[in-house]
Amino acid sequence: MNQIDRPETFDTEALRKKVSEIRTTADGKKAGKSPTPLNPLARQIALQFRVDTYSPSMITGLIRLLDLCALFAIGYAINTQYVRPALQDLPVYLAILAFGSALAVIAMQIADTYQVPALRAWLRMTPRILAAWTATFGTIALVLFFLKSGHLYSRVWVGGWFAAGALFLVAERAFIAYSIRHWSRNGTMERRAVIVGGGTPARDLIRTIEHQPDNDIRICGIFDDRDERRSPHVIAGYPKLGTVDELVEFARLARIDMLIFSLPLTAEKRILELLRKLWVLPVDIRLAAHANNLRFRPRSYSHVGQVPMLDIFDKPIADWDSVAKRCFDVFFSIVALILLWPVMLVAAIAVKLTSPGPIIFKQHRHGFNNEIIEVYKFRSMYTHLSDPSARNAVSKGDPRVTPVGRFLRKSSIDELPQIFNVLKGELSLVGPRPHAVLAQTHNRTYSDVVEGYFARHRVKPGVTGWAQINGWRGEIDNDEKIRFRTAFDLYYIENWSLLLDLKILFLTPFRLLNTENAY
């Protein structure tokens, strides 16, 4: 950024590094500041965007999957009804069906028929779709010719599959085009964006986005710290909803996908100040580059429609990654219940028989995007001494803990009911551990101690996590422990993969043998 006049050396990675330095070296004095309350207009608009949307990448991915399954099913149905192959021949037919269906999807992808504008214009894209489908059958015929096996397969079956598949694809695309128009009108399929920064740059950015054909961006409002003289209350028809501090609360109440900075690249200091407040949010952060005179290599940009953007931060675990992680959670949660239900049953009986009160203890904790969730645990304290707020952390030899509870806490068996939180979608199996809302160390909340503490909540919290298998579990009785735990949580978020989740899940039972800090 210091060499902003030399485009060939510009790299947004430098900007990320500076933000990282700010949040690493900060003393935390501003971190614990209470959320800025939203003004009535901003709250009203935020509540209008509480419902989740489906991103274009999710929709197009589902359409690819639908095409693959439907084309396979059509070919299989014709094969079953007409050819009725012998059992020993069935695997060969299934292989041809799978190969042809997959090849058709690849051909339509190469023909650019899965882009949202192409899905809207089904009539214009029909020749491309039919050409891709025809090319698929040409390839199949060529392969069978070179294998000298074409005479073994029914021409009626191949012709019927081709004709029925073509009819399906045309009818499907007509229906999808109608559905996309409907979803765009009712907000089901859109990307919600907030403009950061006002004035003329914001006006020009909004007009550029809105004048694009097939625009899928819904601008939810504008936030800017500047006064009326430099940033009017209404810009290009959109209200200025408040300051950047209010934006943090707005983005936690509404389902926002993207923050777009309408600031010049030369405003480095201001951009860094804003990122210091906003990087904790689970959203994409982009810097609009349409009005800048500098031009970088094409790969430096992403695009919102035709508007070039410089990527500052990406939302972690988004789109199909979130689907994969959810499938991972559900599968392994069910496996855990099958394997551990005897342990859970014995624990429940022991809690019930050894002290009066409920078996399950429920506690409010911070969840994804700082939302409050109710987490389940086996009760480990005497009911009349329990501390739902966790204001007073459990310490070694704590008299509030029952003898059975002491064993449950040391072995982490008390955490097993959180598997049901996972199945409900409130927790993930692996992620930053959720802390109680009022948890604190030395009369200071964790957010007072750690700058950017709430960045842990950019993903769902987990039953176990990277910090826990690295020894940062149990009592937090000094500032360094919560700082290190947060640092490990942020490392996990930035380096997430299913393999990392699997590694953490596998190592958790072994690392639980270390009960040094578990009381």
Q: Give the C-alpha separation, 7 to 297, whole Å.
A: 8
Residue 18: band (very low, low, confident or very high) from pLDDT cuts 50, 70, 90:
low
Mean pLDDT over all residues of the chain?
82
Question: Are 486 and 453 spatial neighbours (Cβ–Cβ below 8 Å)?
Answer: yes
Residue 42 reports pLDDT greater than 70: yes
Alpha carbon distance, N-terminus to C-terminus of the chain: 49
Q: Is 376 left (phi over 0), alpha (psi -120 to 50) or beta?
A: beta
Q: Look up residue 233 and give its DSSP letter.
A: S
Distance of CA 433 to the CA centre of its chain: 17
- For residues 488 and 467, is the Cβ–Cβ distance under 8 A? yes
Exposed / middle / buried, residue 115 (Cβ in 10 Å: 0-12, 13-18, 19+) = middle
Residue among 112, 168, 102, 171 at smallest CA distance from 136: 102
The β-bridge partners of 195 are 222, 260
Cα distances from 23 to residues 250, 469, 486, 501, in angstroms, run: 22, 24, 12, 26
Residue 411: per-residue pLDDT: 85
Structure tokens at 323: 């689907």
Q: Which helix (H) or strand (E) holds 196?
A: strand 191-196
Tens-place pLDDT, residues 458-483:
999 999 999 888 887 766 767 778 88
pLDDT-derived band at 152, boundaries 50, 70, 90:
low
Residue 238 has pLDDT above 50, yes or no: yes
Count how many residues are written for the chain: 519
The CA distances from residue 434 to 452, 456, 492, in Å, are 15, 9, 14
The contacts of residue 351 (CB under 8 Å, 6+ apart) are 359, 378, 379, 380, 402, 404, 405, 408
> In 3-state terms, what secondary structure has residue 211?
coil
Kind and range of the H or E run holding 430? strand 428-430
Q: Is the pLDDT score of 12 beyond 80?
A: no
pLDDT at 298: 53
Query: Would strands 258-261 and 284-288 be described as parallel, antiparallel, or unpaired?
Result: parallel
Q: At what angle do helices 320-354 and 56-78 cross, to 10 degrees?
A: 100
Say which amino acid occupies 178.
Y
* 362: β partners: 376
Question: Residue 3's pLDDT is what?
Answer: 35
Q: Which residues contact 84 (CB under 8 A, 6 or more apart)?
A: none
What confidence score (pLDDT) does residue 431 get? Answer: 93
Q: What is the pLDDT of residues 351-380, one digit of tens each?
A: 999 888 899 988 888 889 888 899 999 998
What is the mean predicted confidence (pLDDT) over 283-303?
67
Q: Nearest-CA neighbor of 435 among 513, 329, 517, 363?
A: 363
d(CA 253, CA 42): 10
Distance CA 277, CA 355 (A): 46
Domain 7-53+190-313 class? alpha beta
Which residues contact residue 423 at a Cβ distance below 8 angstroms, ignoring those fewer than 6 apart? Answer: 330, 333, 334
Between CA 500 and CA 509, with CA 505 as vertex, the angle to 5 degrees is 140
Residue 220: φ, ψ to 5°:
-90, -15
Distance CA 322, CA 315 (A): 11
What amino acid occupies position 249? E
Residues 302-309: what's their mean pLDDT?
75
Give 32's DSSP letter: T
Over residues 378-399, the pLDDT tens digits come to 998 888 777 666 666 676 767 8
- 255 versus 396: which is more confidently predicted? 255
Q: Per-residue pLDDT for 22 more than 60? A: no
Task: Give dist(CA 283, CA 313) in Å, integer.
Answer: 8
CA-nearest of 493, 347, 391 to 432 is 493
What tokens does 512 get?
A: 């639980």
Which residues belong to CATH 3.40.50.720 in the chain?
7-53+190-313
Q: At what angle do helices 320-354 and 403-411 cross, to 10 degrees?
A: 160
- The maximal CA–CA distance of the chain, rounded, in angstroms, is 83
- Residue matched to tokens 């069906």: 97
Helix then strand then coil, in percent of the chain rounded to 5, is 55, 15, 35
Q: How many whole angstroms separate alpha carbon 486 and alpha carbon 480?
A: 10
Q: What is the pLDDT of residue 410?
A: 83
Span 203-223, mean pLDDT? Answer: 83
**CB-based contacts of 67-70 (< 8 A; 24+ apart in sequence):** 67/101, 67/104, 67/105, 67/108, 67/169, 67/172, 68/101, 68/102, 68/105, 69/101, 70/168, 70/172
Q: Quote the tokens at residue 106.
A: 């690849």
Tell me 82's DSSP state: I
The token duo for 85 is 């192959």
**Residue-level pLDDT at 118:** 87
> What is the band of 292 on the pLDDT scale with cuts at 50, 70, 90?
low
Distance CA 261, CA 244 (A): 11
pLDDT one-digit tens code per residue, 71-88 = 999 999 988 887 776 676
CA–CA separation, 250 and 196 (whole Å)? 12
